[in-house]
Structure 1
Amino acid sequence: MTPQTDISPRAWAELFLLALIWGGSFLAIRTALDEIGPLTSVFFRVSLAALALWVWIWARGLALPRGAALWRAGLVMGLLNNVLPFSLMAWGQLHIPTGLTSILNATTAVWGALIAALVFADERLTPRKIAGVSLGFAGVILAIGPDVLDGISVADLGQIAVVAGTLSYALASVWGRRHLSGVSPEVAAALMLTGASAVMAPLMMATEGVPQLAMAPRTIVSVLYYALVATAFAYLLYYRILKMAGASNLMLVTLLIPPVAITLGAWVRDERLEPTAFFGFALLALGLLVLDGRAARWLRARHAGKI
């Protein structure tokens, strides 16, 4: 299939909106973590988002999922796409800046290309993809910084947790392609969030106890934002853009999120990143552009224009 390269002004607008929403989620999660534990923050996120999506499905009159196999697939998807990455990243954000978290989050696309090549016959690693993956991982290593060689600190563990979360995201995409490809996106998202809620509830209770609902107003606003806007609504917007612009163009949101998160982290929490983080992001961004073939198409177009 030929990659989709054209993108309409409306798709661009919605792509930027999605980047703003997801970029803001890093600040919202970090703000909530000032008062609640990471597992509690994840429980609120998945349970409220699941509820919102089931209401949407009911209002739209969409067919409800039937069969134990589909619910089991949703449970595994919830583990891989919500429970593990959300929990790892929430814990990581306690120890590293929100902007750095958003940069490392972009590693998802690099893992995705590598794992898809190992699992699917039609996703083999071409020389271009190998170059993109190599550049991407080099960017991650540079963003993490050389200090990790002097000994593992809590901040280093936070960065490792975030990168591990992106690996889980990539595994989830493979699982979803194999087991949930025939389900409507809204129902698939509701299934995985429901499965994630079923896992997070006892996990939260066993480690952080019963959540306290008497929270500060900014915590409540943060929770509602990242659960209803940055999860439930963002999933719907994500699939809408995917349908309009294609997967190749949708990947651009990965590059638009960090500038938003970095700006908000500096403005609201006075966070400052090391120069290596910015250089690492630039290298990672180049790797992603090489991965999807956009850089090669741009170079070919420039060459053709000079002839």
Structure 2
Amino acid sequence: MTSTAPSSSRVSPAATATATPPATVTPTAAVTPTAAAASTAKAAPTAAATERRRRPAVDWRLRFAFLSVVWGFSFLFIKVGTDGYAPFQVTLGRLVFGTAVLMAAMAVKRERLPGGARVWGHLAVAALLLNALPFSLFAYAELTIPSTLAGICNATSPLWGMALSLVALSEDRPTRIRVAGLGLGFLGVLTVLGVWQGFDGLNASGTALALLASLSYPVGWIYVRRTLAGTGHSNLSLTGGQLLLATAQLAVVTPLFTSLPTSFPVLPLLAVAALGALGTGLAMLVQYGLVAEVGPTTAQMVTYFTPVIATAAGVALLGESLTWSTPVGAVIVLAGAALTQAKARSRGA
């Protein structure tokens, strides 16, 4: 998925879930993750201003809702995809379809991939941290945990992001509200996991993989902010290159750890296609427009809706069970994540 960047960064993973990022987005989300997009917002003010002057055909609220839904459903798509294919194969398919969408968008807009060995080297690291690694971890996690739990784990990215930014970004100083939000958020994680029951019935390895995936996003965001800001390349160009490299990474890894499928079940294949084309490629393009039109602070609010959609989809469509601690803990996590963004909101978009 999707996922949201630290408050001091303008990064949003292509992920998402998810989101991710989702992604490179994001939220988010499996979200989704478009780290390159936000990290270069300051580097290309002319392009951003041009985007703002164009009146979009679809109201931003509808695009915001679309992003929330598609990143929320990303965890369902992963679950369905892994019913027919190995996790690495799901991730590779996701990246192939997502990259195809971005390459098509670049062709329409006559954008070129970035140049320079240094830029491509940094993009390779970003591709690993924001795409290849978290996407694969979420896919493996959902072999043993429900999609609802994966979606909620993805919502912890802002918490990890704030904790890491306090260490890695000297200009990002803690406030009492943000520290309280960090503590509250992790209290919510413990509530979701049912710590008072000794984590009874919880698959520890699957949950750990999902939390590691969520941690990978802010590590990637911080890396991108330190290395790719100010390159002068457009958001679309950088993110297209990033996804292309992530696809290449999975194309190398997948044959080493999986065998060619003996059959190609249709429903899991459609889920992987939707995960890549909608939850990764198209979602990143939609996110570009949102950031340009309403600013990163408002755009990243989609992170708070993603786990709600993921939970509803998992329960309603996959029949996943839901105990009281899951939604209660999720609300606490989101409240904590919101508090960690207090500094960004007080400054505006």
For the criterion TM > 0.5, the same-fold answer is yes
Aligned to 1:134: 183
* 1:148 Cα deviation from its structure 2 partner: 7.7
Aligned to 2:12: none
Q: Distance in 2 between matches of 1:26 and 1:113?
A: 24
1:5-154 map, 5 Å: 10-146=59-195, 149=198
Residue of structure 1 aligned with 2:255, choices 200, 205, 211: 205
2:297–2:345: 8 Å Cα contact kept in structure 1?
A: no
1:22–1:257: 8 Å Cα contact kept in structure 2?
A: yes
Q: Secondary structure at the match of 2:59?
A: helix
Aligned to 2:292: 243
What are structure 2's unaligned runs of at least 5 residues?
1-6, 9-57
* 1:115 Cα deviation from its structure 2 partner: 1.3
Aligned to 1:221: 270
Q: Which amino acid aligns with 1:34?
A: D
Q: Which amino acid aligns with 2:260?
A: V
Q: Which amino acid aligns with 2:256?
A: A
Residue of structure 2 aligned with 1:274, choices 305, 323, 329: 323
Residue of structure 2 aligned with 1:196, choices 246, 255, 269: 246
Q: Distance in 1 between matches of 2:234 and 2:196?
A: 45
Aligned to 1:258: 307
Aligned to 1:163: 211
Question: Deviation digits for residues 84-137 of structure 1, max 9, x if unmatched?
Answer: 111111111111111111111000111111212212222111212111111111
Are the structure 2 counterparts of residues 190 and 229 from structure 1 closer, same or farther at C-alpha, using a change threshold of 3 Å?
same
Aligned to 2:20: none
1:143–1:279: 8 Å Cα contact kept in structure 2?
A: yes
Count of aligned pairs: 291
Q: Distance in 1 between matches of 2:280 and 2:333?
A: 25
Greater mean alpha carbon deviation, residues 218-227 or residues 180-189: 180-189
**Going by fraction, where is helix more abundant, 1 or 2?**
1
Q: Distance in 1 between matches of 2:219 and 2:204?
A: 23
* 1:172 Cα deviation from its structure 2 partner: 0.9
* 1:58 Cα deviation from its structure 2 partner: 1.9
Runs of 4+ in structure 1 deviating by more than 4 angstroms, as ranges, are 294-297
What are structure 1's unaligned runs of at least 5 residues?
3-8, 298-307
* 1:292 Cα deviation from its structure 2 partner: 1.7
1:117–1:123: 8 Å Cα contact kept in structure 2?
A: yes
Normalising by structure 2, we get a TM-score of 0.77
Structure 1 residue 178 corresponds to structure 2 residue 226: yes
2:151–2:306: 8 Å Cα contact kept in structure 1?
A: yes
Q: Secondary structure at the match of 2:320?
A: coil
Q: Which amino acid aligns with 1:134?
A: G
